[in-house]
Amino acid sequence: MSGQESNIVLLPVEDASRREVAALWETLRREAAAAVHRDQALARAMNSAVLMHSSFGHALSHRLAIKLADHDVDRDELLALIYGAYTDKPGLLGAAAADLQAVKDRDPSNTEVLTPFLYFKGFSALQGHRVAHWLWTTGRGHLARHIQSRISEIFSIDIHPAAVMGRGIMLDHGSGLVIGETAVVEDEVSILQNVTLGGTGKDMGDRHPKVRRGALIGAGAKVLGNIEVGIGAKIGAGSVVVAPVAPYTSVVGVPARPVGKPHTALPGITMDQTLSEPEYII
């Protein structure tokens, strides 16, 4: 080992996640302050959403509680619940920071973290789901279902609380998205609107798709059954996928079939939505 290599220090995952959250929080505060500087009419909104809070966890808890509160579970109850989840499982905040950064990096209509934090329902719905999943795994199923229901009502995004979602996920637009109970969506996946990760009938048990790292699923696609969408796979808009998709492979059609040659990038990150056959796009 060279002297240069011996000086490399690998941070523990927890420390790296904390640094990631802290850096994003500073960026979020800076962007909120700049928004107020440009337009004083936003002062109250930016103070309430970002600048009055002491941490990213406080701000995100407050934002979600306002959006998801109703007459059954009010804002203060939700605020305590959500912040309790972040205290019990700090990795939820690291995942939220990765999700927010993913939107900034991948969405060409957005160049900051403030806009998706405030306004993008895909981001908000995913963070609400993370809290519902925490509730589900700690045996509080009815409250998890309540959060799921509120997310569906407010954002038109329905994710079962048992579904497993990785980090750095972008739910672009999000409207009409349905993800079933035994689905798994790994890190750095991007999913567009009106996608279904569903079952094929009334089968019990493990019956929903497993979407591997860096996959991209186009608008309106239906992925049905306990099948695997391989790492770096790409699914075209409107496709119906009922068979496994090989890694780094693009599929399109009803039923979906492979098209063109395999690629090597992760389209969930690059957002390359073209397919090898020019008549098909995602």
Q: What is the pLDDT of residues 200-240, one digit of tens each?
A: 887 789 999 999 999 999 999 999 999 999 999 999 999 99
Q: What is the pTM of this model?
A: 0.91
**pLDDT tens-digit map of 258-276:** 997 778 889 999 998 877 6
The residue among 76 and 15 whose pLDDT is bigger is 76
Whether the Cβ atoms of residue 214 and residue 229 lie closer than 8 Å to each other: no
d(CA 44, CA 18): 28
Q: Which of 246, 271, 273 is nearest to 261 (CA)?
A: 246
Whether the Cβ atoms of residue 259 and residue 235 lie closer than 8 Å to each other: no
Amino acid of residue 174:
G
65 pLDDT exceeds 60? yes
Q: Is the peptide bond before 255 cis (omega within 30 degrees of 0)?
A: yes
User: 234 - beta bridge partners?
Assistant: 216, 250
Spell out the domains of the chain, with CATH numbers in brackets: 9-157 (1.10.3130.10), 163-282 (2.160.10.10)
Tokens for 7? 């000086």
